[in-house]
Chains A and B, each alone.
Chain A
Amino acid sequence: MGSILLLVVLVLLALWVVGAYNGLIALKNQTINAWKQIDVQLKRRHDLIPNLVNTVKGSMEFEKDTLQAVVDARSKAMASGAGAGPGAGAGAGAGGVKETAAAEGALTGALAKLFVVMERYPDLKSSQNVRDLQEELSSTENKIAFARQLYNDVATRYNTKQQQFPTNLVAGLAKAEIAELWEIEDKAEREVPAVDLSLKKPQG
């Protein structure tokens, strides 16, 4: 009788370990997949920028600095983004998320500045081509933001799961590591509202 009871307990325990392990693996893969979604959108943005720069270059000769800032930020972002990962995959570098986030944040800031400056050029605003490009870029910006939002949500769920008792007991078995969240860098965060303020000053 006692041995049967022991057997039942062991079987239940084994079932629980399998369930918890699979749950963690599923969350890990979701985290990696969510990261890939950001990657796709970032690449799309990198591809669109030369297009935009070329289109507006002619009409914006006096804004060389702004344009150059965008181009520089783009190449920096492309350099830091190569091979970055959420740290969720086995052996992936843990510094990837922070670096990529910083470089992409700077690019977001530079682009936002360019868009604000472009508002001063009526012929640019009325051009169909520029409007389409702008819609595409701002949509890509949104997609990056939403992909980041999804990644952070999934990664948080993954992190919580592997730290909570009793799932944390199988975390080592599933090779679960804390996935780094994509935080908005303070610098970039401060930059964008700074531009906004200069425009909305009259309200005081």
Chain B
Amino acid sequence: MTAGPNLFEQQARNRRLTVAWLALFILFFAWLGFGGDFALYLAAAAHSEGPVPYRFPLIGVVVTAVAAVVAWVSWRKGPQQVLWSTGARELTAPQTLQEKQLVDVVEEMAIAAGLPKPRVYVIDDPDPNAFATGRDAASACIAVTTGLLAIVSREELQAVVAHEMAHVRNLDVRLMTLIAALVGVIVVLSNGMGRFLGMGGGRGAGGLLGGRGKKGGEGLGLAALVVFVLWIITLVLAPIISQIMAMAVSRDREYLADATGSELTRNPGALASALEKIETHEAPTTSIKAGAAHLCIADPLGKDVNLKDGRLADLLATHPPMAKRIVRLKGMAFQQLKAAGQAPSS
């Protein structure tokens, strides 16, 4: 198996990406916060002679404080909130054979991955789907819908759980939780500041920016206006940009989780047939919201995107096209058969 080094490469890549994303978001926050201050400072400098009256970077400090608190809370509570929003219930005492199988299969995959057993959740929803969440292996949770339990065989369930376990082992869950926390902060900030500007805050700033100031201050006033307009544009576009960035990170992970999951079960064919079943049995989901979509094994929202393979579909989908994933898995299964000398010779 050649997936061994790939796994560690992916873990290292995820660690690097985690740091890079943190840095990127900090820069973004700094711009959102202190950029506004900068615009106001330039404006104030354009209006007054001598010492500039705008000294304390109020917006920057407030934004930084709010962002830190919101990000920290959603980092700690994020996984639980995701589970809560889908109405998942923890499976502690399995009753039916199906539930017992689910718990057994999760235990089996935890052993195969050499990880502590994650907590198991069931979501009462007819749409077959599954996702993993958490900050690390110790706090990981795996949730499965009843729709999935109803249609897959034991082997296929094992393959799906292995895919989710791969997300846990590759540290994808950590990166996803972090990104979800950061994206959430941007949405909160963007909404909050938009409201602040809509109310009195904007008028004050507008007065400062628009009024005629001292002689020679026009250049500064123009600079302030440019910075301010840029700042407003970022503020408005921030939620969309951050969402697209988050999606781009989540997509290429699916292929690797498919591969790592097959490495755990040594049975790529089972995952291929599970994905085929998931695709054909799709049902409208009510419990999995947009907030959890990027975590799922199959995209619960834009299912029709799975059928297309264009630029726009690639940009907006949280998952690679299902057909591509199935083809890759079948290729792996064929290679395995060939290695075992059982492949049909054609």
Contact = CB atoms under 8 A, between A and B. Distances in A.
Which of A34, A131, A142, A149 has the most CB atoms of chain B within a 10 A radius of its CB?
Answer: A142
Contacts of A146: 108-109, 111-112, 264
Contacts of B105: 139
Interface of B: 4, 97, 100-101, 104-105, 107-109, 111-114, 158, 264, 266
Contacts, number: 40
A150 interface: yes
Interface in A153-189: 153-154, 157
A136 B101 CA distance: 8
Nearest to B101: A135
Contact of B111 (A37, A132, A135): A37
A46 interface: no
Interface of A: 34, 37, 41, 131-132, 135-136, 139, 142-143, 146-147, 149-150, 153-154, 157
Contacts of A37: 111, 114
A139 B111 contact: no
A147 B111 contact: yes
Contacts of A131: 97
A112 B314 CA distance: 47
A149 B266 contact: yes
Given A135-B101, A150-B114, 17 more contacts: A34-B114, A135-B97, A135-B100, A135-B104, A136-B100, A136-B104, A139-B108, A142-B158, A143-B107, A146-B108, A146-B111, A146-B112, A147-B111, A149-B112, A150-B111, A150-B112, A154-B114
Contacts of B266: 149
B115 to A, nearest CB: 10
Contacts of A135: 97, 100-101, 104
B136 to A, nearest CB: 18
Mostly helix, strand, loop or mixed at chain B's interface?
helix
A87 to B, nearest CB: 20
Mostly helix, strand, loop or mixed at chain A's interface?
helix
A143 B150 CA distance: 23
A41 B110 CA distance: 13
Closest 8 CB pairs of A and B: A139-B104, A146-B112, A146-B111, A142-B108, A150-B114, A147-B111, A143-B111, A143-B108
9 contacts: A34-B114, A37-B111, A37-B114, A41-B111, A132-B97, A136-B100, A139-B108, A146-B264, A150-B111
A130 to B, nearest CB: 11
A149 B101 CA distance: 21
A194 B109 CA distance: 28
Nearest to B266: A149
A44 B299 CA distance: 39
B322 to A, nearest CB: 27
Nearest to B1: A153
Contacts of A154: 114
Contacts of B100: 132, 135-136
A142 B159 CA distance: 13
A143 B114 CA distance: 11
B340 to A, nearest CB: 12
Contacts of B158: 142
A192 B158 CA distance: 22
B184 to A, nearest CB: 36
Nearest to A34: B114
B336 to A, nearest CB: 14
Contacts of B107: 139, 143
A132 B197 CA distance: 63
A135 B158 CA distance: 14
Nearest to B107: A143
A197 B197 CA distance: 76
Contacts of B108: 139, 142-143, 146
Nearest to A154: B114
A154 B111 CA distance: 13
Contacts of B111: 37, 41, 143, 146-147, 150
A184 B113 CA distance: 20
Contacts of B109: 146
A131 B98 CA distance: 11
B167 to A, nearest CB: 18
Which of B97, B109, B111 has the most CB atoms of chain A within a 10 A radius of its CB?
Answer: B111
A153 B113 CA distance: 11
